[in-house]
Structure 1
Amino acid sequence: MASTETVYLRKKVNLLGSLCIIVGAMVGSGIFIAPKGVLRNSGNVGLSLIIWLATGIFSTFGALCYAELGTCIKKSGAHYIYILETLGPMLAFLRLWAQFILIRPASSSVVALAFGRYIVEPFFSPCSAPKLLVKMVSIIGVSFAVAVNCWSVTFTTRLQIVLTTVKMGALVLIIVPGMIKLASGQTENFQGAFDTSSLTLDRLPLAFYAGLYAYAGSSVLNYVTEEVVNSKRNIPLSIILSMITVIIFYLLTNISYYTVMTSQEVLESNAVAVTFADRALQGFSSVIPVFVAVSCFGSLIGGCFSTPRMLFSGSREGQWPVLFSMIHIRRHTPLPAVLLMYPLMVFMILAGELFGLINFHSFSRWMFTGLTTLGLIVHRYQHPDVPRPFKVPLLIPAVYTVVCFFIVGMSLYSDPVNTGIGLALTLTGIPVYFLMVKKQRLPLCFIRVYHTLTKKLQILLEVMPQEVQTY
């Protein structure tokens, strides 16, 4: 039996913690910045609300698939480990590579930039805040999120519970005044809600991307499967409860936005929630930016909590440098994997732009999501006797996979520059795989330097390999 001093990732995430991790990952910057992107690319208020509902249902299909995968494949690592187990090592490595160089840095940068904007913007209203100051505050937020995840799993989980409570309170603060005004007959902003004069079909995939970005995070618990208490019960239960909660809150929040603000005001606003507060919450409007910033920060912490577990899992499977499968000897956190993400996140904050970053990383994210649910279908046929405590109808992963690939294909047409760059960066993993993972065709001197550097960093960071098998 493992002693208290034994080094391994412990099961410290209970049902409440699981629920707050998922909701905390989904309800971040998305609901505060995506309404503008959904409306701009859908063309009208009515269609934008349909897209919010459709992307919620679509995301629920995917979440149910991940609930099944998380209960029948017991390793942490989410998409990476599922693709490895079902579609093979090369595609799994490309997922790992894309997560490291593209998906996590870009998505965390989007959240961090939203955090920085909502912190800084009120001090410069009605003028725009200096972009450099927003970026500096964003970097401070990322730095603190990384530090918290290096410090303690227990503290991170408890902080996520607190932040999730605060961010749901922020949504309630937006929903209630909007519903009161709607009930009192203020419906003029919904007149001509389905006017198609500004609708362009080629931009609809980008509207779906913006909506799907707001729901991204439903699979975050699968990154930490080995750390979930009673995972067979808590993974599917927390996923189902969180998806129902988030869909209801997102729809009500958007209806409140459109009740108080015209579609033109939504499109012109740099911070939709702040503009809403100025219209509907005189006297409390200064509180909204703080709530939104806290919401973004909670999502940032969740992202920095989940992705290192994928790198940790990849290292344990021999597809990533061995240092990143090591754990701090006292903190019991995957310290090297957490720290590895930091430089690229800072770089993308400095170099990126909010909506460009969303389109930039969404291509790879949804392409591999489609491959993961395709892997679920393959796994059903390859391993029919594997126990599945939670099982979805086969139609759900089939529909989800087809729609994922359709949206990915359409995005290449709608935004070829950003999605093309995302595809190219993902494909750079192919030579890396064949040179450094599959054949290890590296000079002997390089290998010696690598082992020496690994030992030095292991001593410096006070980390060692996991001593207990946790799956």
Structure 2
Amino acid sequence: MSTCPLSTISSGDHINAGTNGFVPPAADSRQQSKSPANKVVLKKKVTLLRGVSIIIGTIIGAGIFISPKGILQHTGTVGMALVMWTACGVLSLFGALSYAELGTSIKKSGAHYTYILEAFGPLPAFVRVWVELIVIRPAATAVIALAFGQYILQPIFMPCGIPEIAIKIVTTIGITVVMYINSMSVSWTARLQIFLTFCKLAAILIIIIPGMMQLFKGQTEHFNQAFRVKEVSVMGFPLAFYSGMYAYAGWFYLNFLTEEVENPEKNIPLAICISMAVVTVGYVLTNVAYFTVMSPEELLASEAVAVTFAERLMGKFSIAVPIFVALSCFGSMNGGIFAVARLFLVASREGHLPEILSMIHVRKHTPLPAVIVLYPLTVLMLFLSDIYSLLNFLSFARWLFIGLAVTGLIYLRYKRPDMPRPFKVPLFIPAFFAFTCLFIVALSLYSDPINTGIGFAITLTGIPAYYLFVVWDKKPKYFKRMMGSMTKILQIILEVVPPEQHDD
């Protein structure tokens, strides 16, 4: 690579396919008159509609259709279950409003990572992205992808069981397609997300409308004595909280791509408020609809609540429900990968992840390396039998760091009072949200010490990793040369370069 003495190839250099190398920009006339539209940067292509579709499309996954029994199991009554669904929606709105302030005052992508970095420094921020990269995101994507594979195949194999190998093959194909689309075009990824979001809302309406018709016909026997107390331990409430907040998780995804949002001061708060109102009302009414047809005992016994509901009310039309569930899972996969790739890009830009992850495709203007880095880890997770347990281990880690990020909002109010804040929430909102998250996390250490302790131990591995990969700068010269060579080889193969400066 004698033509490129730098450790990496800059965005001013042009890939020459004929020589399989790079030539200076002076040798390419197109570089002489590069317009702003052709700059190698992530474009501002996320409109209000796309922002709403990213949030709703990522929040609404398989849970509300398949197994909304976690809350009922840990609260014990229909009334308390509906109260918990509503409370988790309101609490999620508090967190989302807090993130709206953070996103409009700190105009960088990266969400939790960026806000913790700004408030508390690099170590806790690195630990957050470390856990996300090695476990949380691959496991979460694998779980939702497995649900996609199972439900897309269900109409084909009904009433027989689905072979596990078929589920794994279709799941792998689904993950590959999602990552390919995310690698090729930001616009097409966003358009796909809008379409899938409308499919999710249609699926919820297919459940809500017949359920409300049943309610108006007087099918209210399962709501009688809705708050009748059963033997339910108070220690179950943290687990009910996790189930509810997991179902609402996704309100923060727009903050992962703040730099790509048009007019973020206006569109981020609007998108968050619209999305949370739609999702909260939809979730509560969906659960009400379930209870018009099923008793609490039947709901707990069902493996797929929406399918059971549809079979009882819709007859042959019930075959459409698994397809809608599969599309919902596909949308969650698409939105999650679209957003979290920006987290890895920002962390790489800050020097916390390998440099290649901060680079952009020269023509597609997508964060190609940050998207595909998840691929091998996610496919590997498909063949681990305990990925569901792994998610339980790390539920506490997610809410610990989200609570920490919102605590950072309060801290920044006093540390940097002059910071521009186009959108500002009353202080009690972030205070209540952060306290609730941290209190529930602490309580879970007591109520479920084994799973939470394992998650805590996995999270702590980020501390030695930080000092080994980030702080220790006296690495052997051969290691630095090897990493530099690998970066340049990957740049040529993937056709990516460091992003140019935005003119904002």
Deviations 1:188-213 (A, max 9, x none): 22233223324122222111111101
- CA offset at residue 354 of structure 1? 6.8
Matched, 1:274 2:311: no
Matched, 1:106 2:139: yes
Give the counterpart letter for 2:188 in structure 1: F
CA distance in 2, matches of 1:199, 1:242: 33
CA distance in 2, matches of 1:268, 1:350: 27
CA distance in 1, matches of 2:296, 2:473: 56
Is the CA contact 2:220–2:292 (under 8 Å) kept in the aligned structure 1?
yes
**Structure 1 residues 321, 438: CA separation in 2 closer, same or farther (over 3 Å shift)?**
same
Give the counterpart letter for 2:296 in structure 1: S
Aligned position for 2:257? 224
Is the CA contact 2:184–2:364 (under 8 Å) kept in the aligned structure 1?
yes
- CA offset at residue 334 of structure 1? 0.3
Aligned position for 1:263? 296
**Structure 1 residues 424, 234: CA separation in 2 closer, same or farther (over 3 Å shift)?**
same
Aligned position for 1:85? 118
Matched, 1:398 2:431: yes
CA distance in 2, matches of 1:352, 1:309: 29
Matched, 1:326 2:359: yes
- CA offset at residue 352 of structure 1? 4.1
Residue range with higher mean Cα deviation, 302-311 or 258-267: 258-267
5+ long unaligned stretches in structure 2 = 1-33
| Residue correspondence of structure 1 range 178-189 to structure 2 within 5 A | 178-189=211-222
TM-score, with structure 1 as normaliser: 0.96
CA distance in 1, matches of 2:106, 2:76: 42
Aligned position for 2:375? 342
- CA offset at residue 127 of structure 1? 5.4
- CA offset at residue 418 of structure 1? 2.8
Give the counterpart letter for 1:377 in structure 2: I
Matched, 1:447 2:480: yes
Give the counterpart letter for 2:139 in structure 1: A
CA distance in 1, matches of 2:390, 2:298: 23
Q: The residue matched to 1:351 in structure 2 has which SS?
A: coil
Residue range with higher mean Cα deviation, 29-38 or 258-267: 29-38
Residue number among 94, 97, 110 corresponding to 1:61 in the alignment:
94
CA distance in 2, matches of 1:429, 1:354: 20
CA distance in 2, matches of 1:305, 1:82: 19
Give the counterpart letter for 2:364 in structure 1: R
CA distance in 2, matches of 1:228, 1:61: 21
CA distance in 2, matches of 1:354, 1:42: 25
Residue number among 445, 461, 467 corresponding to 1:412 in the alignment:
445
Residue range with higher mean Cα deviation, 98-107 or 351-360: 351-360
Is the CA contact 2:136–2:391 (under 8 Å) kept in the aligned structure 1?
no
Residue number among 239, 242, 252 corresponding to 1:209 in the alignment:
242
CA distance in 2, matches of 1:198, 1:45: 14
**Structure 1 residues 185, 470: CA separation in 2 closer, same or farther (over 3 Å shift)?**
farther
- Identical columns (%): 53
| Residue correspondence of structure 1 range 68-467 to structure 2 within 5 A | 68-126=101-159, 128-353=161-386, 355-467=388-500
CA distance in 2, matches of 1:203, 1:163: 34
Is the CA contact 2:75–2:236 (under 8 Å) kept in the aligned structure 1?
yes
Give the counterpart letter for 1:337 in structure 2: A
Deviations 1:374-396 (A, max 9, x none): 11011111111111110011111
Q: The residue matched to 2:360 in structure 1 has which SS?
A: strand
CA distance in 2, matches of 1:87, 1:203: 32
- CA offset at residue 299 of structure 1? 0.8
Residue range with higher mean Cα deviation, 430-439 or 329-338: 430-439
- CA offset at residue 26 of structure 1? 0.7
**Structure 1 residues 345, 413: CA separation in 2 closer, same or farther (over 3 Å shift)?**
farther
Is the CA contact 2:139–2:387 (under 8 Å) kept in the aligned structure 1?
no
Is the CA contact 2:139–2:381 (under 8 Å) kept in the aligned structure 1?
yes
Give the counterpart letter for 1:305 in structure 2: F
Is the CA contact 1:370–1:401 (under 8 Å) kept in the aligned structure 2?
yes
Residue range with higher mean Cα deviation, 65-74 or 192-201: 192-201
CA distance in 2, matches of 1:165, 1:21: 11
Q: The residue matched to 2:497 in structure 1 has which SS?
A: strand
Deviations 1:316-375 (A, max 9, x none): 111111100000011110000100111222222221457534423311110100110011
**Structure 1 residues 308, 294: CA separation in 2 closer, same or farther (over 3 Å shift)?**
same
**Structure 1 residues 42, 353: CA separation in 2 closer, same or farther (over 3 Å shift)?**
farther
Q: The residue matched to 2:365 in structure 1 has which SS?
A: coil
Matched, 1:20 2:53: yes
**Structure 1 residues 414, 432: CA separation in 2 closer, same or farther (over 3 Å shift)?**
same
5+ long unaligned stretches in structure 1 = none
CA distance in 2, matches of 1:346, 1:207: 30
- CA offset at residue 279 of structure 1? 0.9
- CA offset at residue 254 of structure 1? 0.5
Is the CA contact 1:65–1:396 (under 8 Å) kept in the aligned structure 2?
yes
**Structure 1 residues 291, 47: CA separation in 2 closer, same or farther (over 3 Å shift)?**
same
Q: How many residues align?
A: 471
Give the counterpart letter for 1:27 in structure 2: I
Aligned position for 1:7? 40
**Structure 1 residues 34, 95: CA separation in 2 closer, same or farther (over 3 Å shift)?**
farther
